[in-house]
Chain A
Amino acid sequence: MEHHSILRVISKLLIPPIILYALYVQWHGDYGPGGGFQAGVVFAVAFILYSLVYGVDALTKIVPPRLLHAFAGIGVLIYAGTGIVTMLLGDAFLGYNALAHDPVHAQEWGIIIVEFGVGVTVASVMMTIFIAFASHNPPLKDQDW
């Protein structure tokens, strides 16, 4: 892909805004459309775009698959861990009211934390699945397309 300079320049321009937008969607999901699922997907798309233009090997150099596998688990653990913490604080599993003195604030905190867990899992799972497909040894050569 060395010769596609337009693609390379445009993707370099696009990737930072996409990541920024993913973070906006993640943290602004309480106020507008969005949340962990969408933010995770958009975040993964930025990296997938990078990999489409520069190759999968370039992507696995930035985000090693082992790291992604770990983060996929960490996201679920953040979510489930929030439930355990609320249980230890004396409320039900995922009953956020115990997280702060004011129940309304506690609910907001709980929602933000679990959405973050969802976002981490979705982003790393989408990247993991993409890398699994893209780095699988292809029986079809590039010039056959």
Chain B
Amino acid sequence: MARIAILSYIKRESFVHELTGRAKLVFFLAWSVASMVTYDTRVLVCMLLFSFVIFKVSRIRVKDISFVLGLAAVFLLMNNLFVYLFSPEYGVGLYQSRTVLFTIAGPYTVTLQQLFYHLNMTMKVVCVVPVALLFIACTDPSEFASSLASIGVSYRIGYSVSLALRYIPDIQREYHNISQAQQARGIDLSGKDKLFTRMKNSVAILLPLVLSSLNRIETVSNAMELRGFGRNRKRTWYNLRKMQKNDWIVTALAIAILAVDLIVTFWDGSRYYNPFLSGPF
């Protein structure tokens, strides 16, 4: 069967892989908060460089995750486009100065400030994406549930995540099989038919898929209850690894990054670093 895996665990040997899920989760959360909060260009540049270093260390190659990267790029582009369309002068208000480069049409003037704002916005996303992807690609799915539980999330929620990971490939396989059998009855799902027909046709696959998934859910929940899931408020984990020296270092580093980020960002009372303050260029 053709692999449809788009984003999944990629088993390699690297420093990042060896860290416990918990350390990686803490780092990922701290990193995300840090980059969400700040618009400080200096901080962002540092984080951006650092995220490239982490990426290198993880031994995950760009081509492993090229599809998701492409998707992220498209979203980023659209985001930028819409921000500009709806408020082309946002940067001007933000940085309290206006340096016109050229005019496109009507109110759409390209200013240096607006470009600078877009640069920051883009860098924020570019900082987070590699780290987020690495968290998924380098964390053994077995460790997801236990690491969520270890930072205080209810194990039931953690386990739902884990179960989804367990059954998604099965359901994909089933979808594939059902759709092949339906195609053999003349139900065409390729681009040849009209959109409406295609939508109607996809119901022919979804109905059996939903019914069989409901069946599956019944089996799984029975199997889980029969083995005592949900009996206690806590549970232990077969796959939870003990925190090693490196895990503590990474956890500490994550907190330090967040702290430095907050201090530098809010030092001058604003989330924005403003290079235009010293006067117009």
Decide whether A and B are members of one complex: no
Interface residue ranges, A against B (CB under 8 Å): none
